[in-house]
Amino acid sequence: MNTRSAPDTLRIAIAQLNPIVGDIAGNLVKAREARADAAAQGADLVLFTELFLAGYPPEDLVLKPSFLSACEKAAGDIAADTADGGPGIIIGTPLKRKSGVHNAVIVADNGKIIAERFKIDLPNYGEFDEKRVFQAGPDMPGPVNFRGVRIGIPICEDIWGELGVCETLAESGAEILLVPNGSPYYRRKVDVRQQVVIRQVIETGLPMIYANQLGGQDELIFDGASFAINADKTLSFQMSQFEDSVSVTTWRRGESGWTCTEGPMSKIPESEEADYRACMLGLRDYVNKNGFKNVVLGLSGGIDSAICTALAVDALGEERVRTVMMPYRYTSDDSLKDAKDCARALGCRYDIVPIHEPVEGFSHALAELFEGTAEGVTEENLQSRTRGTILMALSNKFGSMVVTTGNKSEMSVGYATLYGDMNGGFNPIKDLYKMQVYALSRWRNDQVPPGALGPSGEVIPKNIIDKAPSAELRPNQTDQDSLPPYPVLDDILECLVENEMSVEDIVARGHERATVTRIEHLLYIAEYKRRQAAPGVKITRKNFGRDRRYPITNRFRDRG
């Protein structure tokens, strides 16, 4: 029985860490190391993030009984550690109980689990589908008495939805709300989270700590940026974004309740830096967590492959990045020079593999079958597919993961070749529109993001940024031969994809109706390609794959 009197000071550590889904033993080690760190800093309690021991999101892993058993054992092991008299813990784990399998937390102190709490509001939208694998908690949670302090523990979506979890906790005597989260990144998400927390603080009158996971998990990026809002709606501490940390905060009880009096106050980066760092973290974690030693990518002299090379070097280091220029008869001298200059600026390996012979070999093999037909897209795609084959051969031979380089504008309208430039294991710019690629390229030439392993200075040659984009699959080709200018295209696509706007409303923005209906048509008919694309970092509110799930067979068109 806990006989300690209620304290007037509570030191709470927030463990903003990078777990790996399914690595229960490794995540337990991280948790133990974080608790030891927090103990050295004088913490009374360590708050971990949502489903930390399992990694988030575990998806259908929670349907495996052996996985659940391993998670529960790890929870018991770290709970037993608290018998040493050090800090207690709040840590996320799936738990199977009579009421079902729950997204849960345990609270442990003095060597025992003193409470379990289950998530009530299971998200089932966008990238979330928790209702298919978890059961909601059967009862509204009450506060947990931790060393004389009544702590409410809503879990992530419990503070976003309308089920009244926080109000229930306040009404049943909670003094402070500690929220473990697995909240993925999208542009300006930090502001959205803070507004959600402020709303709950206003409604409950209680301060709230928002602890968020860090790291890349397939398409999702968890950016950390944990923070707290005092009962007076002021920001009491702000942890860094895209960086792991165990930060101890000091809370004191006064006449009006608990207030944070000491904690970190990190600056949140602006949009371009945040997007770039999200892409960098996503690529780094995908490569490292999946056991690849290095990566290879085609470096064409264009903007997309250039920024992907910069991201790869920043994420992994120049020694782990190999680039290949694969010229054909339509490759310009500018492209050859620009690709070489880019590789030299970034310090990575650069090889040249001409593709004239294999392309001509394919053309010769198909000549009889193609007799009497005009050359066109088919012959152009032979070039792209030859390049894809070469990159996959290098991948197979040397164990390198192929980085694919198509941007969201291209993927939206199908301007990508299946089994060609779409070949690859991961795409760091998959959710960036073309104009965003340009913006981040300019930003990277002026800045080196924290944690980047690449050099400073101009790493993407100015000529790559300034010249008209082209696939160089035929003489004098530019992208805008068959597409509207990218500022126009990107605005139409953002209206269609992110905002689900009608053709009529998009035309009202000043776009030509024929252009809008054509882009809408291209967007729909390219769905089959996107289903076969490599995963890539989620940057926008609606990426292809997890967020936007349209049928491949689809005859709907908005006739306005």
Task: For residues 428 and 420, give the distance between their C-alpha atoms in angstroms, rounded to a whole number.
Answer: 17
Element (H, E) at 345: helix 333-346
467 is catalytic: no
Does 50 participate in catalysis according to the annotation?
A: yes
User: Is the Cβ–Cβ distance between 71 and 77 less than 8 Å?
Assistant: no
Instruction: Please provide the DSSP assignment of 412-437 as one string.
Output: HHT-S-TTTTT-SSBBTTTT--HHHH
Asked if 472 and 339 count as a contact pair (C-beta separation under 8 A), the reply is no
Question: Which is the catalytic residue, given 30, 72, 130, 156?
Answer: 156
Q: Which of 307, 346, 532 is nearest to 437 (CA)?
A: 307
Asked if 238 contacts 230 with a C-beta cutoff of 8 angstroms, the reply is no
Structure tokens at 24: 């229960």
Nearest alpha-carbon partner for 274 in 230, 301, 243: 243
3-state secondary structure of 346: helix
Query: Token pair for residue 443?
Result: 């930003």
- Helix ranges restricted to H, 470-526: 486-497, 503-508, 513-525
> Distance between CA atoms of 464 and 297, rounded to whole angstroms?
17
- Gyration radius of the chain over CA positions: 26
Instruction: State the Cα–Cα distance between residues 39 and 11, nearest whole angstrom.
Output: 10
CA distance 322 to 398: 11
- Cα–Cα distance, 423 to 388 (Å, whole number): 6
User: Among 304, 528, 472, which Cα is nearest to 403's?
Assistant: 304
- Backbone φ/ψ region at 73: left (φ over 0), alpha (ψ -120 to 50), beta: alpha
3-state secondary structure of 361: helix
CA atoms within 13 A on the CB side of 257: 17
CA distance 405 to 388: 12
Query: Which of helix, strand or coil describes residue 84?
Result: helix
**Cα(241)–Cα(274) distance, integer angstroms:** 8
Q: Give me the sign of the Cα torsion angle 158, 161, 162, 166.
A: positive
Tell the burial category of 488 from Cβ atoms under 10 Å away from its Cβ (0-12, 13-18, 19+).
middle
- State the DSSP H helix or E strand holding residue 216, giving kind and residue range, or none if neither: strand 214-217
- Nearest partner of 539 among 216, 312, 267, 294, judged by Cα: 216
Could you tell me if 251 and 320 are in contact, meaning their C-beta atoms sit under 8 angstroms apart? Answer: no
Q: Is 119 known to be catalytic? A: yes
Angle at 30 between CA 27 and CA 31, to 5 degrees: 90
Among 30, 50, 410, 494, the active-site one is: 50
Candidates 71, 72, 119, 260; catalytic one: 119
Residue type at 299 in one-letter notation: L
- Which residues are known catalytic residues? 50, 119, 156
